[in-house]
Amino acid sequence: MSEEVKSAQDLTNQLWSMANDLRGNMDASEFRNYILGFMFYRYLSEHQEDYIINEDLVEISGDETVNEAYIRAAAEDGEEDYLEDIASSLGYAIAPNDTWASIIDRVNSDKILPEDFQNMFDNFDKNAQINTNASGDFTNIFADVNLSDNKLGNSTTSRARALKNIVLSVDEFNYLGENGKDILGDVYEYLIAKFAGNSGKKAGEFYTPHEVSQVLSKLVTINESTVDRPFSVYDPTMGSGSLLLTVQDELPDGNTQGAVQFYGQELNTTTFNLARMNLMMHGVEYQNMTLNNGDTLESDWPDGPDDQGIDHPRSFDAVVANPPYSAHWDNNDNKLKDPRFKDYGLAPGTKADFAFLLHGLYHLKSTGTMAIVLPHGVLFRGAKEGKIRQALLEKNQIDAVIGLPAGLFFSTSIPTVVLVLKRQRDNRDVMFIDASEHFEKGKNQNVLRSEDIELIINTYKDRKDVDKLAHVASLEEIQENDYNLNIPRYVDTFEEEPEIDLDKLTTQMKETQTQIKQNETELISMLNELKSDDPKIKSDLQHFIQALGGDSNE
């Protein structure tokens, strides 16, 4: 484990312990919004402070702090110009009296009022409108920090006290690792995972376990040796955005600013806000992310203007997704005209799995790769799903079917499958991999180890039959199975019992019986040699010897 990772995990554990002490009777999934929200506000404020220093936006006199100089300069010259300058570059702007340093000063001097916290967020929203190109990235991003929640306290004063304690706790930590590198993004990611682990089935709404994200990300970047252009990745059910960030990690030089263009959509507003924070906390600039709060299946998104200014669907180098499994959706007949579905048909109203798949495939470049996690039912269910599956196979768009172990996710214990799709392929076979037995069993959740992930990716790359693990099936073979993709039809993992040698077994049984008889005889002989004047002991020995079939007259 690297020092950087260890530092991030240690700091996360401290923050987690602090959060448990502060949240009282509040559910972990609710308290998450306060801890992560204030962490993000601190990040934005300190990021703005760095900008003020680097751009020499204010002149610092004597022993003034940057924040003090900012307050003085804004008072002397008027803060409007400063806010416009900052917003034009960062996409947001925080007024001098609302900076993290200003809030901490008022908290420490006990001069902060309960309404100051609300004003802080309200003013941030107002200033988020200054840069119209970035307003969609920052407006209402703190809407889920409910400052009037009675679970924080029964009175205004008690709620203010609770908020002050949260702010002071968040301010306490240094987000630099042992090597001086900023580890705030990693800490944020670990905290999201911890909150997910304590949110039960709700966690499935916003978090994909990192190891599963790694599998998907490696699959869609497998042919990327160098990034000589902005690599575009889209997640139509992005949750907290962690899967998008993992794709960046798997790209060569992916962490270079501007190397990746992120696109994502999320239905749940709270989770959408979490994703915006998560990407920015990992250093993603607002210009490099296009995120939307909306229903992926109800109305198609994203689109953008072409050279003539006409909107048209965007397509991406990679599409990754872990959608809600077998969700209900409105599959009315009007959607038969929808270009996403018209060539394949509509998924059942009670199982939207293929609807999510077709949406993602529609937005995939002809040279791109898509990886999506779904329940095993999509491999073999008939009726409408059977027709969609057949169409995908006949269009030669299913590249691989990878069975994962059960118990990997917070929200469900069922085994899942990864489908790898391409819009255009040269080969017409399908790679089947059964990785269902390759994992480490955990107390509450199973985990893919690094060697398990490596096995899956290397097997996919090699594209060869491997006994008990993988099979490359021709289209003809799949057609013979009526387009059923159930993995056991193609990968035989059955372990035959070794053939029993009856003659050898009979001999062994006879030898065992002879040995038992010999041992009994020796034991009886030893017991008869025992002498005791105690009538009870003597009686017990006689009964024991008789039970073994010996002579107890001695």
Q: What does the pLDDT look like over 275-294, one tens digit per residue? A: 999 999 899 999 999 999 99
**According to the per-residue pLDDT averaged within each range, which of 222-226, 268-272, 326-330, 518-522 is highest?**
326-330
Cβ atoms of residues 220 and 247 within 8 Å:
yes
Determine the pLDDT at residue 550. Answer: 58
The answer to whether the CB of 110 falls within 8 A of the CB of 157 is no
3-state secondary structure of 462: helix
Model confidence at 540: pLDDT above 70: no
CA 100 to each of CA 34, 49, 117, 283, 326: distance values in angstroms, whole numbers, following the listed order: 15, 10, 11, 19, 44
Quick one: three-class SS letters along 170-181?
A: HHCCCCECCCCC
Question: For residue 38, with 0-12 CB atoms within 10 Å meaning exposed, 13-18 middle and 19 or more buried, which class applies?
Answer: buried
**Which pLDDT does position 79 carry in this prediction?**
94
pLDDT(405) > 70: yes
- Which residues are CB-contacts of 437 (< 8 A; sequence separation ≥ 6)? 405, 493
Least confident of 2-11, 39-48, 326-335: 2-11
- How much is the average pLDDT of 227-240? 89
Contact status, residue 57 vs residue 85, Cβ threshold 8 Å: yes
In the prediction, which pLDDT does 336 show?
93
Question: Mean pLDDT across the stretch 311-337?
Answer: 93
What is the phi/psi pair of residue 247, to 5°?
Answer: -60, -45
Q: Are 288 and 47 in contact (CB under 8 A)?
A: no
Asked if residue 1 has pLDDT above 60, the reply is no
DSSP 58: S
Q: Report residue 374: phi and psi, to 5°.
A: -145, 165
pLDDT category at 554 given cuts 50, 70, 90 is very low
- Whether 387 has a pLDDT exceeding 70, the answer reads yes
Cis amide linkage into residue 302, ω under 30° from 0 = yes
Q: Nearest Cα to 393, choosing from 414, 422, 371, 368?
A: 422
Residue 298: its pLDDT value, please? Answer: 93
List the one residue out of 493, 408, 501 whose CA is nearest residue 210. Answer: 408
pLDDT attached to residue 382: 93
CB 47 within 8 A of CB 87: no
Q: Please report the DSSP string for 60-105 in residue order.
A: PPTT--HHHHHHHHHHHH-HHHHHHHHHHHHS----GGGSHHHHHH
> What six digits make up the tokens of 180?
């001086």
Single pTM value for the model: 0.84
Q: Which of 358, 431, 347 is nearest to 395 (CA)?
A: 358
The first and second tokens of residue 463, run together, are 């594209």
Strand order across the beta sheet in which 398-403 lies: 289-293, 260-266, 231-235, 316-321, 364-375, 416-421, 398-403, 430-434, 470-473
Per-residue pLDDT tens over the stretch 416-460:
999 999 999 999 999 999 999 988 887 778 889 999 999 999 999
Q: What is the mean pLDDT of residues 89-101?
A: 97
Q: Exposed, middle or buried, 404 (CB in 10 Å: 0-12/13-18/19+)?
A: buried
Please, where are the H alpha helices in 434-534? 450-462, 475-480, 502-529
Q: How far is the C-alpha of 111 from the C-alpha of 421, rounded, in Å?
A: 59
Q: Which two tokens stand for residue 150?
A: 């009675």
What's the longest Cα–Cα distance across the chain?
117
Task: Give the whole-number percent of the chain exceeding pLDDT 90.
Answer: 59
Number of Cβ within 10 Å of residue 543's Cβ equals 9
The pLDDT of residue 181: 65
Q: What is the pLDDT of residue 425?
A: 94
What is the distance between the alpha carbons of residues 356 and 374, in angstroms, rounded to a whole number? 10
Range with the poorest average pLDDT among 62-76, 161-175, 312-326: 161-175
Report pLDDT for 204.
47
Please report, as a single letter, which amino acid is at residue 230. Answer: P
Q: What is the mean pLDDT of residues 6-11?
A: 79
25, exposed or middle or buried, with CB in 10 Å at 0-12, 13-18, 19+? Answer: exposed
Q: Poorest-confidence range of 107-111, 120-124, 535-539?
A: 535-539
Taking the C-alpha atoms of residue 253 and residue 259, their distance in angstroms, rounded to an integer, is: 7
Q: 């263009």: which residue's tokens?
A: 261
Residue 28 structure tokens: 């972990």
User: Residue 326 is which amino acid?
Assistant: S
Average pLDDT value over all residues in the chain: 87
Q: Is the pLDDT of residue 520 over 80?
A: no
Cβ atoms of residues 347 and 390 within 8 Å: no
The confidence score (pLDDT) of residue 495 equals: 56
